[in-house]
Amino acid sequence: MKNTLLLLATLGGQSAAQTLYTASYAGSVYSLGLGKANGTLALSTQSQSTECGASPSWLMLDGANEILYCLNEAIGASNGSITSFNTHGNGSLDVIHNLTVPAGPVMSAMYSAPGVHDHQFFAVAHYETSTVTTYAVDPIRGHFKLLQTFTYNMSAPGPNAARQDAPHPHGVTVDPTGRFVLVPDLGADLVRIYYINPVTGHLKPIDPYVAAPGSGPRHGTFWTPKGSSSTDTNVYFFLVHELDNLLSGFRVSYTERGIHFSKFFEESSFGNATATAPSGSKVAEIAISPENNHIVVSNRLDNTFGQKNDSIAVFSCADASGTSFTGVQFLGLYPAYGSSVRGFDISGKLGLIGIALEGSQKVAVALWNKATGRPGKLLAEKAFDGDIPAVAWEL
């Protein structure tokens, strides 16, 4: 409660509202302002753009350079696209560049190469077309061009034939040393791994991590001790599997051009090794808390808090200072305030979690309790005319 009052006071005193970007499958990207209206917090539309195409699926914000990259999944169409926008303090979005790409892009991440000084890179997972693409990007201007395309196939469907008819790259994560790109592939039950050539920035595929048959790896995230940079010791990797709703934890070790995973933990995303996930539920997103001591996982279609009221699971992994790894322990399930949490973004600075409620077609903002490292009460929400796959806080 104290946190909430503090937040209201802070936001109330600001001239500009706090900005939250969101994407809607109805074909729009929005910048929303979170501010006080008549004494209560509310989300209002600052700007709306239809220039990311028909099915915006993922937002990658480069806050330092004030550029927002948007992926257009182009559901049902033959090509997808990627659009970059300049962001502004007043929330307006100006298109910089638009590129046609293979259909089905769903997640991207930025990386760099020590020998390349004038540009960076990003990789994109294309679910629908079994493809991973990479781009060279001028991070200051927001222009980018295609660099590499990797397309995969399988000789036979996986155990879950309906979802594993083909490879389906679903996530992109860069390791903490900045030397490897990981792509969980839901269709092939693999985490594809690429070594970043330090001189050219080109990706070189190396041996993948092989996940359990039918598990459907979706998204992953790394934990390293708070304050450490480019470390290769004390590194842990966490992976959620959409098809069997499991969270796995790995100790990570390195060789000169290799990254290795040793599994030490696996539990339901409902937090109990013996618990079965509610029928039809599908884990979606994973992140390390801003305090660096918890693993936060979103469940979809589990109705844990009532009809169309899904859950966010929290697991501890480090001490309160976020510097010592403690092993993984389930802490509980917290309400998502709607259905099918496809994505979320936690701001430690604001003490807020933005929640993309795909099934409820709305965005919710709830308190992020920094002291307990868990989501708290609902502060504001806003409905849209399409499914909401992504949210991202400005800053």
Q: Which strand ranges, in their side-by-side order, compose the sheet holding 143-151?
A: 105-111, 120-126, 131-138, 143-151
Nearer of residues 280 and 306 to ligand NAG, judged by Cβ:
306
Q: How far is the CB of 208 from ligand NAG (least distance, A)?
A: 12
Nearer of residues 108 and 221 to ligand NAG, judged by Cβ:
108
DSSP 72: E
Nearer of residues 25 and 237 to ligand NAG, judged by Cβ:
25
Q: How far is the CB of 32 from ligand NAG (least distance, A)?
A: 14
Nearer of residues 88 and 163 to ligand NAG, judged by Cβ:
88
Nearer of residues 105 and 322 to ligand NAG, judged by Cβ:
105
Q: How far is the CB of 302 from ligand NAG (least distance, A)?
A: 12
H or E element, residue 346: strand 341-347
DSSP 80-96: EEEEEEEE-TT--EEEE
Q: How far is the CB of 100 from ligand NAG (least distance, A)?
A: 4
Q: How far is the CB of 97 from ligand NAG (least distance, A)?
A: 8
Q: Do 154 and 167 contact (CB within 8 A), yes or no?
A: yes
Q: Which of 342, 377, 334 is nearest to 361 (CA)?
A: 342
DSSP 131: E
Q: How far is the CB of 153 from ligand NAG (least distance, A)?
A: 4
Q: Which of 238, 357, 336, 365 is nearest to 292 (CA)?
A: 238
Q: What are phi and psi of 53, to 5 degrees?
A: 85, -165
Residues 6+ apart with CB under 8 A from 30: 21, 22, 23, 24, 45, 46, 47, 48, 49, 384
Residue 114 burial (CB < 10 Å; 0-12/13-18/19+)?
exposed
Nearer of residues 13 and 306 to ligand NAG, judged by Cβ:
306
Query: Which residues of this chain interact with ligand NAG, rule CB under 6 A?
Result: 37-38, 51, 53-54, 72, 78-79, 81, 83, 88, 90, 92, 95, 98, 100-102, 152-153, 272, 274-275, 305-306, 309, 335, 337-338
